[in-house]
Amino acid sequence: MPQMTERPPVISSASDVEILPLVVQRRVDDRGGIMVIDLAAPDGAALPAFTAGAHVDLHVEDPATGLHLVRQYSLCGDPADRSRYRLGILDAPQSRGGSRALHRLARPGAVLRVGKPRNLFPLYAGARRSVLVGGGIGVTPLLAMAHVLQAQGGEFALHYCARAQDRTAFLEEIAEAPYRDRVHLHFDDAQPFLATRDLPPAAPDTHLYTCGPSGFMDWVTAQAAACRYGAAQLHREDFNAEVDTTGAAFEVVAARSGVTVGVPAGVTIAAALREAGVAVNLSCESGVCGTCLVDVLEGVPDHRDSFLTPEERSAGDQILICCSRARSATLVLDI
């Protein structure tokens, strides 16, 4: 998934994550501070398959802090091409380490540690018509979707929204892509996206996919809803969803670690445990990937993720500690 914002560096015990060492085969420093890199197996072997909308975790050792950073980036190449993974990485000005380190380290020939692709933003199989609306670096998973829809002969359009043409990446790639005739460029100063003009009529088999900053996706989905698109037809990449840390303070007992911590408003369980020296597995830090799942031994979780099913939430015996909180004064966790 595109990394729109940088999160604080996290310590990740990634020993249980399957990681591929991949070589930076090609790097292009595109407009808008976006670096496009192609990653390949050192021996040229075919890479694990992925589907459009998938992302990978990049595991980065930050020499400045000595921490192991994990960042997620959407795969923006053609899923039919198993020879490489293509990523677009924004050098975010507010970066606290991840993208900055990657822009520094990802030189041709460098080896990066890459998790196997996972897809939390897939194309809907039953769609007859698809509309892809990307904002800035959020276009990356939609480029992979465009490859697939074009190969399938699907009916679709890709709307790519950006501030200005001279700050927009991927333009050369799009101009040469087989789907180039399906792409509509929207710049703030020229032909901005307008749902009433740019969206096809709402229909049960017409699906809209949007990715970009949260505010952009809120704006796109609100416009689509106003055009009578139903919730089942709207798909958004919530990988960068902000975590709601409001609410009363509570206590967490990390039973296996023998540590008890207070979790005030504004702090996640994961952050409180980490501060106390407890190792936690983190990846998306948005409640969507499931990496931080922990068993609940006592207490009542206040689920704020989008990973657990309604049944799993009701069971109350698991919690995602990157985002969820407690309804009870104390939670005892198996960590």
- Tell me which residues touch ligand FES (CB under 6 A): 282-285, 287-292, 305, 307, 320, 322
We find the least distance from the C-beta atom of residue 306 to ligand FES, in angstroms, to be: 9
We find the least distance from the C-beta atom of residue 239 to ligand FES, in angstroms, to be: 9
Complex with ligand FES: residue 14 or 217, whichever CB lies closer: 14
What six digits make up the tokens of 2?
Answer: 């595109």
What six digits make up the tokens of 298?
Answer: 């006592």
Question: What residue ranges in the chain does DSSP mark as E strands?
Answer: 19-29, 34-40, 54-61, 68-74, 85-90, 111-115, 118-119, 129-135, 155-162, 183-187, 206-211, 234-236, 250-254, 259-263, 293-298, 301-302, 318-320, 325-326, 330-333
What six digits make up the tokens of 12?
Answer: 């990740």
Run of H or E including 219: helix 214-226
CA angle 286, 81, 162 (to 5 degrees): 50
Strand partners, 176: none
We find the least distance from the C-beta atom of residue 274 to ligand FES, in angstroms, to be: 12
Closest CA to 209 of 120, 124, 119, 132: 132
We find the least distance from the C-beta atom of residue 281 to ligand FES, in angstroms, to be: 7
What six digits make up the tokens of 282?
Answer: 């983190």
d(CA 68, CA 58): 10
What are φ and ψ of residue 289, in 5° steps?
Answer: -100, -25
Work out whether the CA dihedral 285, 290, 296, 301 comes out positive or negative: positive
Structure letter (DSSP) for residue 234: E
We find the least distance from the C-beta atom of residue 15 to ligand FES, in angstroms, to be: 16
We find the least distance from the C-beta atom of residue 270 to ligand FES, in angstroms, to be: 7
We find the least distance from the C-beta atom of residue 276 to ligand FES, in angstroms, to be: 18
Complex with ligand FES: residue 95 or 291, whichever CB lies closer: 291
We find the least distance from the C-beta atom of residue 197 to ligand FES, in angstroms, to be: 37
Complex with ligand FES: residue 78 or 285, whichever CB lies closer: 285
What is the DSSP pairing of strand 318-320 with strand 293-298?
A: antiparallel
Complex with ligand FES: residue 70 or 177, whichever CB lies closer: 70
Complex with ligand FES: residue 52 or 294, whichever CB lies closer: 294
Complex with ligand FES: residue 168 or 268, whichever CB lies closer: 268
Complex with ligand FES: residue 141 or 287, whichever CB lies closer: 287
Complex with ligand FES: residue 159 or 303, whichever CB lies closer: 303
d(CA 234, CA 221): 7
Place of tokens 């309804």: 327
